[in-house]
Amino acid sequence: MYEHCFRLLPGAVRAKLVAPNTALSGFSGESVWPIGIIELELELVDDDNKELVRSTTVEFYFVRSYSKYNAHLGRTTLQKLAVIPSTVHGLVKFPTPLGIATIRSEKQDASVEAVEQAEKQPSEAEQPRSRMIITNPRHPEQKIKIGGGLSEETKFKLRNILASNTDFFAWNEADMTGVPREIAKHKLNANPSLTPVRQKKRGVAPERSEWLKAEVDKLVKENILREVRYQTWVANQVLVKKPDGSWRMCVDFTDINKACPKDNYPLPEIDWKVESLAGF
């Protein structure tokens, strides 16, 4: 917001990066290891009167982070320069030997630039429309959308790739089964000392009951479900209405969830792990 008011002194370019000895912690507890630390001489200059200047030495920490700003001044630097910011007015003030200096935000200029960029964007009527294509002749009702902004050559190549790799996708329920157990196998880690819970059967409206029967028969036919005569755990089905008015069949796993112990070491946020590996 205030890029025009900062400048580095000529001798600052000779500064060297120093290896950090600690990580930086964010508000949510994530840690970021800096690439390096550099000490630079920084000047803050008034917008209107260039004689109103304050300079100080600042330590900058280089980190891999996506931001629209090139640098952030911390509270230590702001306190050293006695800077008073005002987010409401979009400016900062700080004392200098010749008087009080003022630096205004570039937010207004940024908003004008954003409006100009928006005016240059083509309208919805001018934008190329996407196309729906069929990649699997066996399932013509299942179409794939291709963006209209792609070139004709790219569309042709993309369509050929999808058509030649139809076996990679699940086109119906039966395609989701048949994975060998030596490749993938899942098991619930239920506490064996707990007694299995058999939920009492809940009543369902007649029209919903017919839909449930048809859905279960379809899943049994596709080998997704199988009949079990002597159940240990029994849970009721729960119908959840979709936005299009149809139903989605779910299962009430409240009791089995209570019997499964929680993982003491859950998978951390992948963004945190990537940031912690910076510099290695």
What are the DSSP calls for 58-72, one per residue?
Answer: EEEEE-----S-S--
Q: Which residue has the tokens 């399932």?
A: 139
* Cβ count near 271 (within 10 Å): 9
Give the confidence band of 31 by pLDDT, cuts at 50, 70, 90: confident
Q: Residues 58, 74: contact at Cβ < 8 Å?
A: no
Task: Identify the bridge partners of residue 145 per DSSP, sorted by sequence position.
Answer: 132
Tell me how far apart the alpha carbons of residues 99 and 95 are, in angstroms, rounded to a whole number. Answer: 6
Tell me how far apart the alpha carbons of residues 272 and 27 are, in angstroms, rounded to a whole number. Answer: 12
pLDDT per position as a tens digit, 74-109 = 888 888 888 888 877 778 888 988 888 888 876 545
pLDDT per position as a tens digit, 120-154 = 666 655 666 778 888 888 888 888 888 878 888 88
Angle at 274 between CA 273 and CA 277, to 5 degrees: 85
Query: Which contiguous run of DSSP H or E holds residue 43?
Result: strand 36-45
How many residues in total does the chain contain? 280
